[in-house]
Amino acid sequence: MPKTVAIVSGGLDSVTMAYHLQAQGHTLHLLSVNYGQRHLVEHEFAAKAAGSLGVPHDVVDLSPVGRLLSGSSLTDPTVDVPDHRNGTSGESPNVVPNRNALLLSVAFAVAVAQKAEAVAVGVVDDLQAAPDSNSAFIDSFLAMERIATRGYAHPDLTLTAPLVRLRKSDVVSLGEELGVPWTETWSCFRGDALQCGRCAACTERQEAFRDAGVTDPTTYQTSDSKELP
């Protein structure tokens, strides 16, 4: 049963990953990172996942870094989170520069200290996602960490991204098999009391459930582009 430090934000992908890893026999320590994101409510859902799985959960506070990450709607209060529009192109205002590299660096440091055998991250390979959310990045980051932690880490320390070759709808299908409680996951970039149903993360969430043929139990601020009563 490998000891694994799993980066879990509280989102659909990372929570499903945690359930999957536990089902595979991993001994989990869930790790969330506060990098100054406006949707910090997601960590409440990471804590719920840890409680349901019966595993420890810690939040690392890197919030001062967020103040330096201007231009991203997730960390810059002067940039609004846009509603998702199909067919848009160009740079996404929702991308946080080097976010996964930042999160993974913290997770590897924790893994080295705890002599864990793996670090896990719930990225899904998506050509429209940030460039640090694909298998090429995962492979390269592991190669770097094997150099950086040589002689200090568990000799078998590795980086696993079990969802990286899946579509988001595949993640929903996997979560259904594992019994993931979808209402205890958070996707929305806005971080209000309810998930907005309009931002890119909410739209991708709704599309994933629809494409998987699974009923989406999420209560959104909007449904089918109309305000809920």
* C-alpha span between 220 and 198 (Å, rounded): 9
Instruction: Indicate if the pLDDT at residue 90 is higher than 90.
Output: no
Mean pLDDT, rounded, for 99-111: 97
pLDDT of the residue at 134: 87
Tell me the pLDDT band of 227, cut-offs 50, 70 and 90.
very low
| Cα dihedral: 133, 136, 137, 143 (round 10) | 150
* C-alpha span between 164 and 134 (Å, rounded): 7
pLDDT of the residue at 131: 82
19: helix, coil or strand?
A: helix
pLDDT digits 0-9 by tens, 180-208:
999 999 999 999 999 999 999 999 999 99
pLDDT of the residue at 128: 59
Instruction: Indicate if the pLDDT at residue 73 is higher than 70.
Output: yes
Structure tokens at 220: 């959104």
pTM surpassing 0.75?
yes
pLDDT of the residue at 88: 54
Mean pLDDT, rounded, for 145-153: 97
pLDDT of the residue at 129: 65
pLDDT of the residue at 229: 35
Mean pLDDT, rounded, for 166-179: 97
pLDDT of the residue at 1: 84
